[in-house]
Structure formats: structure tokens, C-alpha cells
Structure 1
Amino acid sequence: MGYPWKNLSPKDGFLVKQQALLSDIDQKILTFLYQPLIGTAAYSLYMTLWTEIEEEAYWSEGVLHSELLALLNIGIPELYQARIKLEAIGLLKTYLQTDPTKLIIYELQAPQTSDVFFKDDLLSLLLLERVGERKFKKLRNRFIIESIDKKKFQEVTKSFLDVFQFDTELLKREKELLKEPVSYIGKTSSSNPKIDSKTFDLKFFYAGLNQQYINRSSITKEIEEAVLVLHTLYGLDELALQQFVLNASDIETGQIDEKKMKKLAYDDYHNKNQQNISLKDVVEKDIQVDSNQQQMRENELTQRGLTKEDIAVIEVSEQISPVDFMNSIKDQKGGFVTKHEEWTLEEIVKKANLPTSVINILIHYILVVRNNPTLDQKLAYKIANDWAQEKVVAPEEAIHKVKKMYLENSEKRQQQENRSKTYAQNRNKGSYGKQTTIRKETLPDWAKAENNQTEETPMSEEEKQSFMERLKRIQNFGKEGE
């Protein structure tokens, strides 16, 4: 199964654009009206993106997604889920650039004003379902302002021309300047969430109403949108909504009371159902499935004798490209990737035909397990050739290969140490106090190269802990503590 968030990496950069100047009242509307609809993660994402833009600025500086994940303390799937909720509700627009480098722009959209929010069928009904009738009325009252009783007061406001005079000829001369196509910061029209009418047969709906006393002209655009919202939220079909329209209509005039129609649908649903409707976005199920698959894989790897450290390395190796993987390790070690290392890695990727996860295990073995400062070309080519010929296609197979190499090298070191001890003992014995002449063998070049490789030593508990912390920073996947 393909998950859309797999295309998003912690190493991807992004910019934030502020399309409209956001105010304190916008923040209140976001907090009290939008947050119940989108949840705390999406709300936190919006507010965090907002704070990335400095005061009196309209663009943020470049930021990596890894920093955003650390601030929000969530993983890539949860970030993607929060993002699309903001997009769906009309609070965010996302733009992607892939060439020459990958870059994402998040354009913040201003929330609807309170009066537009409560007049919008979908937003107001969603809020009503989320918080209940009592809380809904309390929230609405928070944004209600008493109007002036114009019967008791007379307006004495002066018009523009009562106060100012200007040269109309000057205005004509400057007309071209005023027409220059530029984009100004300020309040722009906010986006409403859209309802798809594909699952509702409007022709059948209207045909049924035509047989009654309802005129087609009575179904305004606002009424039609309300009907589609009720169909989407409560699962009402064409026949049921025809009846609600009839019950909310005036027999004499044929006019439809939209407020009454929505109230009838709301009451009917809750008379049949004891709980409010629950909204589940399309990603929620996929995230759960992905999480279950990951847990099953961890259990499988554990049964195959792999340790928690091994599994953590495997999980990272499956999430990040070899280039990003090597760069991440070098960053954590305080080093840098050389051009020679880039060429070496490029050759392995092109010629070895190994999965990226297996190549990452190779990189990890040389740079972390052996603690080499650079990706040794000869050693990398030798291992890549061996694994390609042995048809190593999974990172767990590569881990077992690494452990086998470690054991073989340990045995060689032990044999060498034993020979050294024997040699020293024989040299010290001598015959009648005379020293024995020992012939010194010259090792061939390939043996020298093998012998000069950095010795592998088991990691201490402190080193293991430090390594696991580095892995978490490299991975940036999943919540803290997972």
C-alpha cells in the first residue's frame, strides 16, 4: 500500500507565506471555532507555521521539516494528517517544487469571520455536532455584538466629499500607475470547505419536489448547498431530504425556511442516534494500518533474533535515502560528506542493484559499527559486491551479514593474538641463553589492506545509548518514546 506521507522527508525544506495579516480576533476564531473541528494537532501546526513568520514580515526563512516535527513532537504521518485537515477546512494552501530542489510552500489562509462561519452550513453544523447545542450557543454568543437601535438614534456621519476635495484631472493622469498589477498584503477572501455532490442525485431530488407544491425557483443556491451538507453529514438520501424540504416550506408561498429544515434534520438524526456524528479523515485509517504493519514487522524481526538496536537501524534504513542517511550520520558525528564518498555511494547505487535499505545498512556498518571517519571505498565496494552476489534484498539479511563479518573478524583477531603470544614466548625461551632468529614474513598487499582496517569493538552501554539518540534524530519518525 502506498502512503502519501512517504513522499515527505524530515530533510525537506519549506517556506511559510502569510497571505493575509492575521489578527487577535483571527486567533480567537481559530481557537474557539476551528479547533474543535480540526483537532489539537492541526491547530498547533497552523499556529506554529504562523509563528515562523517574523512580525511585519510576510515570508518565513527556510526551515526543515525535522525542526517542525521536533517542535510539534509528532511524526511524519501525523504531520501530513494535520496538514490536509487545514487544507480541507480552508486554512492552508500547499505548493510543491521538485526542480531543481524539493521545496514546499505553506500559504496560510485567514479563517472566516465569525458571521460567515455561523452562516456557513457545513462549518456551523460541524461545530454543533462537535460541541453540542449548549456549548454551540455559548460560543456563538461570544461573537455576537449588540446592534445600534437606529430608531432611537439618527446617523450624522459625514461622507467623503463632505470633508475632502481632490483634483479629478490628477486622478486621470495617475490612472495608469494605479493599474499596475501588484499583490498587496491584507484581508483576502477566505476559502470554505467544499462539498462534492457526486453521491447525491439532484435531478431525482428536484423531480420529486416538482410533484409537490414546491417551485424550482424556491430552491435557492443556499438551500441547495444546505441540502448537500445535510446529505453529507447525516447520510440522508434524496427522498428523506425531499420530506424535510416539504416540512420546512410555507404552503401558501412555497418558500423554504432553511433554518427550520436544518433543525428538522438535526433533531431527526439525534432522535435515532444517541451520539453525535464522528468525522474521520481518510488518513486516519491508513495511519492505523501502517502502525499495525510496523508493529507486526517489529514482532517478526524480534522473533528472528534481532535486538531493539537492530530493529531501530532497520526502520531508519527503510525510511531515508542513502544520501540523506549518510549525511545524517556525518552530521551527528560532526563531520561532512566528501565528494569521493558521494562518488563511491553513487557507483554502489548504480551498479550493485541493492535496495536502498540494504545500502543504508552498509553505510551504517562502515561509519557507525566500525566507526570509520569516511566511507572507505575498497571496503564499501567489497561488501556491496558480496551482498549483490549473495542476493541480499532485505535490511535484516544485511544485519545478519554484518554480524557474521563481525564474528569472523573477532575470530581472526583472537587467532592473531594467540600467535603473537606464542611468538613472544618462543622468543624469550632461547637455547642456552641464545636468541632464536625468527624469519619475518611479508604480507601481500590484499592482506595488508585487510589487516589495516579499523578493528571492530563492541559498543559499551554508554555508546549504545548515544547511538540510539542519534538514530532518533536521524529518523524523525514517530512520537517521542515510541
Structure 2
Amino acid sequence: DTALITMSAGSEKLNMYAIQNAVNENFGLNRNKKMVKKQLQQVPKDANRTIKKLSQSDADLLKAVDSKVPTDYLYELKEKKGGYVTANEKKVIFRLQDQMGLTPPLINMIVYACFEYDTVLTANLADRIANDWLQQGITTPAEAIAYLKERKNTRKRQYYRAPKKTVRKTTDWSKYEKQNQTKRKTMSTEERNRIFREFGKNE
């Protein structure tokens, strides 16, 4: 079955490299899909409290991700950014929906979150975000929005936290000079003459 997927019209030879890639891609796919399905079936932790935390812009975002097909939402975000949708970006959405079994609204939120970090939708970044959310028990767009806001606020607090200043004790050279000037003795004329007389005798 895997070999058939890799064959193209008019080709009489098997592409072992393509078959190997297909096997690697499909290995454990059903198991991953079951794990994701199990996570998605969990009851949200505190949906009402989460929704109360959302602002009007959050509510608009929630409405957008709930009402659009992932590919349409991807095109919409790219148009706003002035870019274009690549074939690899569409593959990412196909993989999240058909192979991982994520819901369209959650996929839309992942797409939105990816564009907060990068200009393109990549499989690695999408997988990292999806894994993080599922491990945190986040299965709905409302929870994802609240989680993104919380993480952004945490990063701001860490960024703006003033580092502790270490005060080093140093010498105040202006005071040092004044103090030592008072300690110095002024040499008299007689003492200077005596030194010069002694110096001449030693030669």
C-alpha cells in the first residue's frame, strides 16, 4: 500500500527513497491520531473563566478562527501580511487536520500563533505549538488565546525586570589626594641645603 502511494504514471520502477520516506511518515500515524483524539475529548478546564478574560479583539479572533476553513484562514492572514501561500504551508494544514486529527478552529489558532513568531507556516513550528498546547491541556481556541496572552505577559515581566546592581567600593581619588596633601610635610630651605651638602660628599 505504501509503495502504491509513491508510484507515478508511466514509471515501471519502485522509488525506494520515496517508499522509505513514506514509511517513516506513516509509522505510528494512527497511534498519534488516537493520542490527539483522546486529548481533544477532555473537558476544558475552566471555559467560562477563560472567556471572561478575553478582550473585544480576542473575541473577534475567536469568531474568525471558529468560522473559517483552515486553508481560507491561511490565505486571509497571508493577504493581510502582503505575502503569498506556499505549497508547503498548505501541506502543514493538511497534516494537522487529516493526519493528526486536530479540529479546524484549533488549526486556525496554530496558524495564527505561528505567524506571531515567523513570516511563514512551517511544520516544525506548528508541531511545537500543537504539542505544547496539548500537553498543557489546551484543546479549544479560547484556551489557546488565553494561554498566548499569559505567555506574552510573562515574557514582558521578565524583560522589564530590572537587574540587581552590584555596587563596587572604589577609591574617591579627589578625596585621596586632599587627604595625602595634608599628611605631606613641607620641606624647609635648611633641610634642602643639608640634603644637597650630603649628596655632594657621597660623590
Normalising by structure 1, we get a TM-score of 0.23
**Structure 2 equivalent of residue 310 of structure 1:** 58
**Matches of 1:386 and 1:395 in 2, distance apart?**
14
**Structure 1 equivalent of residue 80 of structure 2:** 332
**Structure 1 equivalent of residue 144 of structure 2:** 398
Give the counterpart letter for 2:107 in structure 1: I
Give the counterpart letter for 1:393 in structure 2: T
Structure (1/2) with the larger helix percentage: 2
**Structure 2 equivalent of residue 344 of structure 1:** 92
**Matches of 1:392 and 1:314 in 2, distance apart?**
14
Give the counterpart letter for 1:318 in structure 2: D
Pair 1:408–1:344, CA change in 2 (3 A)? farther
**Matches of 1:385 and 1:302 in 2, distance apart?**
20
| Structure 2 alignment gaps of length 5 or more | 1-47, 173-203
Q: 2:134 aligns with which of 377, 385, 388?
A: 388
**Structure 1 equivalent of residue 177 of structure 2:** none
C-alpha deviation, 1:356, in angstroms: 1.0
2:159 is the alignment partner of 1:413: yes
Q: 1:374 aligns with which of 115, 120, 136?
A: 120
Pair 1:302–1:399, CA change in 2 (3 A)? closer
1:266-281 → structure 2 map (5 Å cutoff): none
1:26-175 → structure 2 map (5 Å cutoff): none
**Matches of 2:101 and 2:169 in 1, distance apart?**
57
Give the counterpart letter for 1:382 in structure 2: R
Give the counterpart letter for 1:392 in structure 2: I
**Contact 1:352 / 1:384 at 8 angstroms: preserved in 2?**
no
Q: Secondary structure at the match of 1:318?
A: helix
Give the counterpart letter for 1:356 in structure 2: P
**Matches of 1:389 and 1:396 in 2, distance apart?**
16
Which segments of structure 1 move beyond 4 Å, counting only runs of 4 or more?
A: 300-303, 428-433
**Structure 1 equivalent of residue 70 of structure 2:** 322
**Contact 1:318 / 1:357 at 8 angstroms: preserved in 2?**
yes
2:106 is the alignment partner of 1:361: no
**Contact 1:301 / 1:396 at 8 angstroms: preserved in 2?**
no
Give the counterpart letter for 2:92 in structure 1: T
User: For residues 109-168 of structure 1, what are the alpha-carbon distances to aligned partners after superposition, in whole Å with 9 as ceiling and x for unaligned?
Assistant: xxxxxxxxxxxxxxxxxxxxxxxxxxxxxxxxxxxxxxxxxxxxxxxxxxxxxxxxxxxx
User: For residues 3-61 of structure 1, what are the alpha-carbon distances to aligned partners after superposition, in whole Å with 9 as ceiling and x for unaligned?
Assistant: xxxxxxxxxxxxxxxxxxxxxxxxxxxxxxxxxxxxxxxxxxxxxxxxxxxxxxxxxxx
C-alpha deviation, 1:327, in angstroms: 0.9
**Matches of 2:122 and 2:170 in 1, distance apart?**
46
C-alpha deviation, 1:397, in angstroms: 1.4
**Matches of 1:353 and 1:304 in 2, distance apart?**
28
**Matches of 2:95 and 2:155 in 1, distance apart?**
26
**Contact 2:50 / 2:143 at 8 angstroms: preserved in 1?**
no
Pair 1:339–1:364, CA change in 2 (3 A)? same
Give the counterpart letter for 1:353 in structure 2: G
Give the counterpart letter for 1:340 in structure 2: N
Give identity over the alignment, percent: 23
**Matches of 2:158 and 2:99 in 1, distance apart?**
31
**Matches of 2:169 and 2:84 in 1, distance apart?**
53
Give the counterpart letter for 1:387 in structure 2: W
**Matches of 1:429 and 1:313 in 2, distance apart?**
51
Pair 1:348–1:429, CA change in 2 (3 A)? farther
Pair 1:379–1:302, CA change in 2 (3 A)? closer
**Contact 1:317 / 1:395 at 8 angstroms: preserved in 2?**
yes
The aligned length equals 125
**Structure 1 equivalent of residue 12 of structure 2:** none
**Matches of 1:322 and 1:362 in 2, distance apart?**
10
Normalising by structure 2, we get a TM-score of 0.50
1:180-259 → structure 2 map (5 Å cutoff): none
**Matches of 1:353 and 1:376 in 2, distance apart?**
18
**Matches of 2:64 and 2:49 in 1, distance apart?**
14
**Matches of 2:159 and 2:101 in 1, distance apart?**
32
**Structure 2 equivalent of residue 201 of structure 1:** none
| Structure 1 alignment gaps of length 5 or more | 1-299, 434-482
C-alpha deviation, 1:325, in angstroms: 0.5
Pair 1:348–1:411, CA change in 2 (3 A)? farther
Pair 1:401–1:302, CA change in 2 (3 A)? closer
**Contact 1:353 / 1:388 at 8 angstroms: preserved in 2?**
no
C-alpha deviation, 1:431, in angstroms: 5.7
Give the counterpart letter for 1:319 in structure 2: S
Give the counterpart letter for 1:347 in structure 2: R
